[in-house]
Amino acid sequence: MSTITTKQDDFFKETVLGHPSGLFVMFFTEMWERFSYYGMRALLVLFLTSPLTGFNPGWEWTTERALGLYGTYTMGVYLTPVIGGVIADRLLGYRWAVLLGALIMTLGHASMALETETFLYIGLGCLMIGNGLFKPNMTSMISNLYKAHPEKKDGAYSLFYMGVNAGAFLGILLCGYIGEKVSFSLGFGLAGIFMFLGMLQFYFTQKIFGDVGLSPAETKSLNKAPEVEEKTPQRILIDRLIVVFIFSVFTIFFWAAFEQAGGSMTIFADRYTQRVLTGDAGMIYKVVDAILTIAPIAIITYVLISLFGKTFKKYSVGNIVLALSFVAIWALVIWRVQREFSSETTEVAATWFGILNSLFIIALAPLFSKWWESKYNLPGAIKFGLGLVLLGLGFGFLAYGSMPIVQGAADGIRVSMVWLILAYLFHTMGELCISPVGLSYVSKLVPAAWIGMMFGVYYLFIAMGNKLAGAMGGMIEQITTQYSLTTFFLIFTAVPIGLGLLISVLHPVIKKLMHGVK
């Protein structure tokens, strides 16, 4: 047995809540990266389309132009991992790629906080490049750490995905709130601060991963003999790559619909949803909002304290950085709750609805993780099919709820918040069936030496979906004016449901092409 294999076994010795403590180091690192990404994403379209005048002015771009840039940016975020994965595999190693990517993203957020068009493009460019180095290599590290335990991968990725969405929840909650109600510049800047803290936490705790993620040069200098990987017959390898391609193609259409959350669904929340609450309704919202704000952070803090108990002695500096980050988070949360209760009027922020996806994932991810590890686990194609159907049903609620809106904003009609809440619930369940599971299957279907590159290729297909999301979302005003808002959302209802049924029918073929991979 090689030293590397022994180090991987050591990774599983100390656990937190039944999972290796090192997984939670990546959990929190990814959490701060997603905090920065989703915090900025929640503000981008609102900032670009907000009036030039007022207490918190934006740039007053047209919806089509703003969503066009949004689509290009989110496409770039998933396009650059193709290169980032190769750079990590061949040159930097996963760890240094993650650290360099985090630093570049920090600079990107700082640029956006300056609120000039030049620095906006510089900032978005840095975020694309930094994310390309960061995103595929975090998932690649998990794949390598769980190499000897493939049966635990689905559960590990689902729990890791919970960390992703904990960051999204906090980012939208705090950056979105501060950016929308105080200053867009402060919202963009806050995203960068926590990205930087996440980078420091990862740097000072990285030894917990043993030899996994080192650069090729570092591995060679340690005189480590490379692991002998079992050769997969060429015929089986090509078949498994066909499965990866099939999943990737269906992923395009999933994200083209799902990413309406940062585009057309944000516009729906801003222009067409009743967000001003009075009387008892306003007070009920404030209480519920406070509970929804504090409870998830309390749960994550509990996980943090559990992690400290296992790792503080060995990795005190990284733990201190993480602790200081949470002190800052709690201060901001308490300030936000107090500010809302002291306000005479109750207006729900348009960005607030974005936290629902993250909140539902925090609540549901452990259940789905247990489901995937139980005897009732579903085959990969059925999981994808179920995810697409659930996504379509979510848009079905929006289509039904928007029926009173015939000619768009000119009617002045605003509909109940319940339709957005139901849509986010079903979208979240669909996401849990596809996103972490897709990552897990890529890691199981391709050879270990190709992991970084193939994650990059998988993200390339997600990039196509994100660009398509921007293009389709930009048509909301045109379709609403010519037909209705219901027609716009019915498109996103019918297509995912149809594709979900199609990939479910393909299950026998896909199972055969997997050659025993479960």
Q: Is the pTM of this model over 0.85?
A: no
How confident is the model at residue 494, as a pLDDT? 97
Distance CA 31, CA 38 (A): 10
Reduced to 3 states (helix: H, G, I; strand: E, B; else coil), residue 223 is: coil
Cβ-count burial 250-273 (b if 16+ within 10 Å, e if not): bbbbbbbbbbbbbbbbbbbbbbbb
Structural domains of the chain sorted by starting position, each given as residue range(s) with its CATH number in brackets: 3-224+236-514 (1.20.1250.20)
Q: Residue 15: what are its φ and ψ, rounded to 5°?
A: -120, 155
Question: Do 187 and 43 contact (CB within 8 A), yes or no?
Answer: yes
For strands 346-347 and 276-277, give the pairing.
antiparallel
How confident is the model at residue 442, as a pLDDT? 84
User: What is each CA distance from 93 to 76, 186, 215, in whole angstroms?
Assistant: 22, 34, 4
Distance CA 357, CA 371 (A): 20
Least Cα distance to 146 among 294, 5, 330 occurs for: 5
pLDDT in tens, the chain (518 residues): 344 444 555 577 777 777 788 888 888 899 999 898 888 888 898 899 888 888 888 999 998 899 899 889 988 888 888 888 888 888 889 899 999 999 999 999 999 989 899 999 999 999 999 998 998 788 788 877 887 777 777 677 777 877 787 888 899 999 999 999 899 999 999 989 999 999 999 999 988 888 877 877 776 666 555 555 557 777 888 888 899 899 999 999 999 999 998 888 988 998 899 999 988 989 999 999 999 889 888 988 988 888 888 888 888 999 999 999 999 999 999 999 999 999 888 889 888 998 898 888 778 877 887 887 788 888 889 999 999 999 999 999 999 999 988 764 445 788 999 999 999 999 999 998 988 778 778 878 888 778 767 877 887 898 899 999 989 998 888 898 888 999 999 999 999 999 999 999 999 999 999 887 77
What is the distance, to the nearest Å, from the Cα of residue 134 to the centroid of all Cα atoms in its chain?
Answer: 13
How confident is the model at residue 422, as a pLDDT? 96
Question: Do 191 and 36 contact (CB within 8 A), yes or no?
Answer: yes
Q: Diameter of the chain by CA atoms?
A: 72
How confident is the model at residue 225, as a pLDDT? 54
For the stretch 408-413, contacts whose Cβ atoms lie closer than 8 Å and that sit 24 or more positions apart, written own/partner, are 408/477, 408/480, 408/481, 408/485, 409/271, 409/272, 413/272
Question: Do 439 and 456 contact (CB within 8 A), yes or no?
Answer: no
Distance CA 73, CA 48 (A): 13
Count, residues in the chain: 518
Structure tokens at 405: 């809106």
